[in-house]
Amino acid sequence: MESIIPDYEGIGSVAVIGNYLPRLCGIATFTTDLVEALSAEAPDINCWAVAMNDKPEGYAYSGKVRFVVNQNRLADYSVASEFLNISQTDIVCVQHEYGIFGGSAGSHLLKLLGELRMPVVTTLHTVLRDPAPEYREVMHRLSDLSDKLVVMSRKAFDFLKDIYTVPEEKIAFIHHGIPDMPFIDPNFYKDKFGVEGKKVLLTFGLLSPNKGIENVIRALPSVIKKHPDVTYIILGATHPHVLKEHGEEYRISLQQLVGKLNINDHVIFKNRFVELKELCEILGAADIYLTPYLEEAQITSGTLAYAMGTGKAVISTPYWYATEMLADGRGKIVPFKNPDAITEHIIDLLDNDVILHAMRKNAYTFCREAIWKEVSRRYLEVFSEVRLNRSRHPRPRHLYIEKIKSITNFELPEIKLDHLKSLTDDAGILQHANHTVPNRDHGYCTDDNARALMVAAMCRKYLDTDGMCFDSLSSQYLSFLLHSFSAEKGRFRNFMTYGRQWTEEVGSEDAHGRALWGIGKAVTFLDDPGQMAMSATLFNKAMKAVEHFNSPRAIAFALVGIHAYLHKFSGDSEARGVREIIADRLFDQFKNNATESWPWLENTLNYSNGKLSHALLLSGQWMQRSDMVDMGLRSLKWLLAIQSEDNHFVPIGNNGWYIKEGPKARFDQQPVEANAMIEACVEAFNITRDKTWIDNAVMCFNWFLGHNDLNMPLYDPKTGGCRDGLMADGINQNEGAESTLAWLLSLMTLQKIYADEILKQPSSQPTG
C-alpha cells in the first residue's frame, strides 16, 4: 500500500532555537539533526535555526543558521524575537536546557518567547524532579508561554503533570531522534578501526566526570581474565565547559587508572568529536554499549538512543531514561558505582550469544519509531495541531515579565534616543508621528519641548558619552522654549505650526506648568554654563505667573520644577515663597474635597494623576509639612489600589476618565500616566525608604514592556520610542513625542534609583 504524504497546511516556515553544530554538545547535535530531518521530510517548509552562542566570536555555522544570540546578553533575546516576528515564521520550536540560556535558571529565554506572535513548541531536554524555586518558576513560565511541551520519556511526561501541574493535553511524547541504520553484524566495521577479532565495548559522548567511565575501567581486569580479546573504546572529546574549567584532568585520571591496572592494550581513547557517519560506523562495530552514569537524574540521553537504534546490547546504570528505555529485555541495568556488577553483566553477555543478540534485536526493533523520519513527522503533526488550535482560540501576546525580588536584580533596557532624534528638527521636537515617521501636520508644542529638554539634560548627566550630542539637543529645545515665552504676558505659548506660526497668544496653565517642570529639571542637570544661565533666567521670568494659577495639575508640574530648581539654587527666597503659596493652594484643594473613600482633590480622576501626589510629597518633605506628606502618600496608595489588577498597572483611560461613583474608563491608557506614577512612587520611596514603593514603580514601568491588559509592549526596542497608547482593540502604533518622552523619563528614573541602590549594596543594611 502506498504511503500518503501528509499535508502540513499553513506551515511555511519553522524556526528551531537551540545550540547548533559545530558547537560541541548534545543539544547542538539534536538541533542540527532536527532541522535537517524536518527539511528532508517537508522540503516545502523553510526550516532554519536560531543558534545560541556561548562565546562572543560564535561558530562557523551552516546556512541553516539565520540568526545568532549571545546567550548571556538579554538585549539579544528581544532582537531575536523581533527578527522571528518579522520573518513570517509560523512555528518556533525551542530546544530547552536550562544551561544554554542566560539569566537565573535560563530565564532570559522567557523574554524572547514572551514577545513572539506565533505558536511555540518546546522540547524539554531536562525535567527536574526536585527543582529549586527559580527552576520551578522558569518551567512554569515556559509552560505558560509554550503551546505544546515535547518530552522524550514517559517519566518526564509524569513529572510535568504531577510536579509542575501541566495539563496532560499540553504535553506530547516524541522519541529522541536517531539515524536510520541497518541492523548489521558488529564484525562488519571492526577492521576499519583496527579491532577485528576483538569483542568491542564502547562508551561515547562528550567526556565529563559524571559519566562514570572509571567504573567500567575498574571492571575490565576481571572481564579480560575471562575474555582476553576484549577492547574498550572511549570515544569523545572532553566537554568544552569542562575543558575550560578543568582541562583534561578527568581524561588523564582515566588514563592513569588504565595504566595502574595494566590494561593499556585493552583500552582505546579517541579524543575527538566525530561526524555522524563515522559515529554510526563505530557504533556498528561495538558488541556492547555502556552508559555507567553516576546519577539517576537524567531524563534523556542521545547517546543511549543512538546505541539502541543501531542494535547494540546495552549495559547501563539506572538513570531515569535508561530504566525506561532498557525495560522488557532491551538492555541490562547495574547499580551506580558498582564495577563488580558491570563485570558480571559483560561476561554474561559475552558468554551467551543468544541472549546478546536477542537484546540487540529488541532494542533495534523498539527504536524504529525513533528514527528521524518518524520523529520529524511527529513534530510536524504537533506543529499543525498547535497552529490550528491557535487559529481557533486566538490569545493575546503573553509577554513575560520577570518577577522582581528587588530593584538590584531588575534588568532595565538600554536608553536609546534614535526616535527622539528623528522627531527633532532645527525648530524643536515635533508632536506626532505616523507609526515611526515624524508627522509635520501638527507641528510643535511647548509641553513636548520642555520634556525633551529634561531628557537631553538628564542624558548629558547620566550617559557615558562625550555629551556633545546632548548639548546640541538641549540647545534646540531650550531655544524653542525661549521663543515660546512671551515676555510681555509673562506666559508661554504652546502650539506652533510646522510653518513656524504660533496658534495662540497664551497657552494653557498646564502647558506653562510643564514648561517650568522641564526648565527646572534642566537647571539641575545642565553642565554648559550658558545653557544653565539661560534656563535659570527663563525659569525666574516664567515662575511669577504660577502664583495666580488654579489648575491643580499646572500647580503640580510647577512645584516639581521649582523643587528641581531649588536643588541647584536652594537659597532663592523668591522661588521658595512661590512654592509655599502654590503648595498650600494645592493642599487646600485636597483637604476641601478628600474623603475616606475618595482621597482626592476633585470628583473626577483624569490625566497625570500621579503628578499631584508627587508634588505634595516633594513640597511637604522640603517645607517640613508632614500633613502634606501624609496626604501625598495616602492619595498615592489610593491611586495604586484603583489602578492595579493582578499585579499589573491599569491606568485610568482617557475615553471617559473616572467620575466619582461612576464607572472607570478602561481605555485608552496613556504612557504619561505610567510616567507620573513611576516618579511619584520613587519619591515615596525616597521619603519612606520602604522598598514596596520601588516594587510599585517597577509594576508601573512594566506596563510599557507589556505587563498590561493586552500583554503587548508599548516600548519599541528598535527605535527607542514608545507607542501612543493602549486601546481596547490593540496598541496605537504611532510613536509621538509625548509617549516617547514619557518612556525615556520613566526609564531614566528607574535607572537612577537602580544605580543608587546598587551603590548601597556593599555597605551593611540598616535594621529596625
pLDDT 10s digits, 380-428: 999 999 988 876 654 554 444 443 334 444 567 888 889 999 999 999 9
Whether residue 768 is contained in a domain is answered as: no
- CATH at 417: 1.50.10.10
If DSSP codes are grouped into helix, strand and coil, which group holds residue 222?
helix
Q: What is the CA radius of gyration of the chain?
A: 33
Residue 763's pLDDT band, with cuts at 50, 70 and 90, is very low
Question: Three cell numbers at 422?
Answer: 528623528
Q: How far apart are CA 267 and CA 761, in angstroms?
A: 54
Same domain membership, residue 159 and residue 23? yes
What is the spatial distance between Cα 265 and Cα 424, in angstroms, rounded to a whole number? 77
Q: Does residue 766 form part of some domain? A: no
Q: Which residues of 260-279 are buried (b: 16+ CB within 10 A; e: fewer)?
A: eeebeebbbebeebeeeeeb
Section 327-350 average pLDDT: 94
Closest CA to 694 of 640, 623, 745, 658: 640
* Residue that terminates a domain, selected from 345, 360, 392: 392
pLDDT at 395: 54
98 by DSSP, 3-state: which? Answer: helix
623 assigned to some structural domain: yes
- Where residue 203 falls (left for φ over 0; alpha for ψ -120 to 50; beta otherwise) is beta
Instruction: Judge if 25 and 48 occupy the same domain.
Output: yes
> Containing domain of residue 129, as a range?
13-177+374-392
Q: Residue 397 falls within a domain, yes or no?
A: no
* CA–CA separation, 664 and 674 (whole Å): 17
Nearest to 156 by CA among 176, 173, 139, 136: 173
Same domain, yes or no: 335 and 428: no
User: Are 674 and 738 spatial neighbours (Cβ–Cβ below 8 Å)?
Assistant: no
Task: Tell me, yes or no, whether 147 and 198 share the same domain.
Answer: no
> Is residue 400 domain-resident?
no
Residue 626 has pLDDT above 60, yes or no: yes
User: Within 13 Å of residue 735, how many CA atoms lie on the same side as its CB?
Assistant: 26
* Tens digit of each residue's pLDDT (9 = 90 or more) over 673-725: 999 999 999 999 999 999 999 999 999 999 999 888 888 889 998 899 999 99
136: cell is 520551578
User: In this structure, are 631 and 610 located in the same domain?
Assistant: yes
Task: List, for residues 715-732, the tens digit of each pLDDT value.
Answer: 998 899 999 998 876 688
In whole angstroms, give the CA distance from residue 2 to residue 430: 67
The residue with greater pLDDT, 573 or 87, is: 573
Asked whether residue 97 falls in the same domain as residue 114, the answer is yes
* Poorest-pLDDT segment among 96-105, 394-403, 615-624, 632-641: 394-403
Amino acid occupying residue 324: E
Q: Which of 361, 392, 423 is the last residue of a domain?
A: 392
pLDDT of residue 6: 54
160 and 215 housed in the same domain: no
Angle between helices 573-593 and 552-568 (to 10 degrees): 150
- Cβ–Cβ < 8 Å for 107, 25: no
CB atoms within 10 A of CB 404: 16
Note the pLDDT tens digit of each residue in 566-604.
988 988 899 999 999 999 999 999 999 989 999 999 999
Q: Both 243 and 327 in a single domain?
A: yes
Sign, CA dihedral 726-728-731-736, equals negative
CATH number at residue 232: 3.40.50.2000
Any idea what DSSP says for residue 503? Answer: S
Angstrom distance (rounded) from CA 685 to CA 674: 17
What does 706-736 look like in DSSP terms, one character per residue? T-STT----EETTTTEE-SEEETTEEE----
Q: What is the pLDDT of residues 194-247, one digit of tens each?
A: 889 899 999 988 888 888 999 999 999 999 999 999 999 998 888 777 887 888
Identify the helix (H) or strand (E) that includes residue 463: none
Backbone φ/ψ region at 314: left (φ over 0), alpha (ψ -120 to 50), beta: beta
| Interval 487-494 mean pLDDT | 93
159 and 249 co-located in one domain: no
pTM comes to 0.53
3-state SS, 529-560, equals: HHHHHHHHHHHHHHHHHHHHCCCHHHHHHHHH
CA 97/CA 18 separation, integer angstroms: 9
123, 191: one domain: no
Instruction: Please check whether residues 379 and 431 belong to one and the same domain.
Output: no
Does 766 sit behind a cis peptide bond, omega within 30 degrees of 0 on the bond before it? no
Q: Is residue 456 part of a domain?
A: yes
Q: How many domains, in total, are found in the chain?
A: 3
Supply the pLDDT for residue 452: 94
**411-420 as b/e: b if 16+ CB within 10 A:** ebbebbbebb
pLDDT category at 756 given cuts 50, 70, 90 is: low
The mean pLDDT of the chain is: 88
**What residues contact residue 414 under an 8 Å CB cut-off, 6+ apart?**
75
Mean pLDDT confidence for 504-529: 92
As a whole-number percent, the residues of the chain with pLDDT over 90 amount to 65
Grid cell in block for residue 666: 478602561
DSSP state of 461: H
pLDDT band at 275 (very low <50, low <70, confident <90, very high): confident
What is the average per-residue pLDDT within 462-491? 82
Euclidean distance between CA atoms 725 and 263, whole angstroms: 74
pLDDT tens for each residue of 121-169 = 999 999 999 999 889 999 999 999 999 999 999 999 999 999 999 999 9
Measured between alpha carbons, how far is 675 from 673 in angstroms, rounded to an integer? 5
- Tell me: do 170 and 191 sit in the same domain: no
